[in-house]
A and B are shown apart, each in its own frame.
Chain A
Amino acid sequence: MSIIEIIQENYLVLLAALGKTLELTFLSLVFASVLGLIFGLFNVSKSRVLHIIANVYISIIRGVPLIVLGFFTYFGVPLATGIKLDGLVAGVIALSLNAGAYMAEIVRGGIQSVDKGQMEAARSLGLSYGKSMRKVVLPQAIRTMIPSIINQFIITLKDTSILSVIGLPELVKQAQIIISRTFESFNTWAIVAVMYLIVITILSVVAKKVERRISYAK
């Protein structure tokens, strides 16, 4: 079978799988951004307890491969608690926890890149810590964080492929199914690779545009 034939026969399945991949990526990134912001703020706070909580979370996630995390949430947790998780839910949880830890580090780095004088100036005007963070520090931190955040988006998009192991019908899983039917390994993986490449290239171009728009002369 030629590449064209594989595409003609499977494009609906492949597009649906791409949709699943994007859905998984999008949901995970939303939750990961929230987790990242929370734990990133924990990490820069003066409270020792919050600091420790953030560090424990980040250390655990860094030390455990995503595939183990996926197996754990999909197979392990239901066995231990009796709560059966839907594949998508388990996948989103695993990916969010994973990306959240890296986002937390990005947030921490972004906040720390803002000159300490900014916080001091805001506090000296009578603004609370939270308001100073929200109105003065974070808007500046986000600008320096954007390239790393986009990088994390791309990594997470690619990481969704790992969740094929828990049976999510995303791109890699569907490709495996197509191959088991057609034995066209080379062509099928080539198609899948190009699909990832196209999506990520689009994402990168958009990212560059966004980056340029919100950057300002220091």
Chain B
Amino acid sequence: MPSKVSVRGLKKSFGFSEVLSHKKRSGKAALSKNFGVLEVLKGMDVEIEEGEVVCLIGPSGSGKSTFLRCLNRLETITGGEVIVDGYSMTDPTTDLNKVRENIGMVFQHFNLFPHLSVLDNITLAPVELKKMDKEAAKAKALDLLRTVGLEDKAYAFPAQLSGGQKQRVAIARALAMDPDIMLFDEPTSALDPEMVGEVLNVMKDLAEGGMTMVVVTHEIGFAREVSDRVIFMDGGVIVEEGTPDEIFNHPQNPRTIDFLNKVL
């Protein structure tokens, strides 16, 4: 059976204007010394099997988030090939919108739609994309809210929710499209510490349910416990990958050891 996600020689560079916005987003100094391009991903090869949970760890600026955003092509891809579910994301003839319906994404800053109620946040895409009629979408949304423990918040607006609740709604919103793959971009980094657990628990349930997941995270505990494979990235390349046991208990590469010493 072919891999769920297949990445070969993936490269990503940012042009000058993009460098600025990228650095702004990643919270680094807004000025770059070189006025050319910034190569963020320098040729990555990754195969992800169905049902696999892969955690990406590494220092900030190592390209983890950019890699994730290349998988559903929120970033344009500069080189190499990304195949998801058999569709080439680099082929200009691919209907990206169609493929994206199958790839759920959860963002660091939740990105809930503030002008819509929790329920409408979740039903917007299924109804607009004619996957379901309004009633079916609503029933499904309420179902999903129950699984993330927020059925009483269906008619609340995002501004009335805590960070952890927002992120759980965001997960429900992504799940409403029945995706095969879920991408998580530092889902707990913007949360107060006491809310991290509730989000990780939802993700754990999802992983146990057999969802294919790619998670960029700083939660070493989560990576150790839930993931099937851990990828350590630094400087736009994969430095080391293996089972959580291999990476966390017996890291081989000095850069991995150095990073783990700092975060553990």
Contact = CB atoms under 8 A, between A and B. Distances in A.
Interface of A: 115, 117-118, 120-128, 131, 135-136, 139-140, 143, 216-218
Q: Is the interface of A mostly helix, strand, loop or mixed?
A: helix
A117 B24 CA distance: 13
A87 B111 CA distance: 50
Most chain-B CB neighbours within 10 Å: which of A122, A125, A127, A139?
Answer: A125
Given A121-B111, A140-B114, A217-B159, A128 B97 contact: yes
Given A120-B107, A124-B100, A126-B100, A139 B125 contact: no
A191 B72 CA distance: 64
Interface string B57-94: 00000000000000010100000000000000000000
Contacts of B157: 216-217
Given A124-B74, A124-B105, A216-B157, A140 B97 contact: no
A208 B256 CA distance: 58
A125 B74 contact: no
A16 B257 CA distance: 83
Contacts of B102: 126
A136 B100 contact: no
Bin chain B's interface residue count.
20 to 34
B128 interface: yes
B114 A121 contact: no
Contact of A115 (B105, B111, B174): B111
Contacts of B109: 115, 117
B103 A121 contact: no
Contacts of B105: 121, 124
Contact of B107 (A121, A127, A131, A140): A121
B33 interface: no
A147 to B, nearest CB: 17
A124 B97 CA distance: 8
Interface of B: 72, 74, 97-98, 100-105, 107, 109, 111-115, 124-125, 128-129, 157, 159-160, 170, 173-174, 177
A131 B98 CA distance: 14
Contacts of A139: 115
Contacts of B97: 123, 126-128
B100 A125 contact: yes
17 contacts: A115-B111, A117-B109, A117-B111, A120-B107, A123-B97, A124-B100, A125-B129, A125-B173, A126-B97, A126-B100, A126-B129, A127-B129, A131-B128, A140-B115, A216-B157, A218-B114, A218-B159
Contacts of B124: 125, 127, 135-136
A127 B128 contact: yes
Most buried by A among B114, B129, B159, B174: B114
Contacts of A216: 114-115, 157, 159
A125 B159 contact: no
Contacts of A218: 114, 159
B111 A118 contact: yes
Contacts of B100: 123-126
A72 to B, nearest CB: 37
Contact of A126 (B101, B111, B170): B101
A108 to B, nearest CB: 17
A125 B129 CA distance: 9
Given A120-B107, A136-B124, 13 more contacts: A118-B111, A121-B105, A121-B113, A122-B113, A124-B72, A124-B104, A125-B100, A126-B98, A127-B125, A128-B97, A135-B128, A217-B159, A217-B160
Q: Which 4 A-B residue pairs are closest in the complex by CB-CB distance?
A: A126-B101, A121-B111, A125-B125, A117-B111
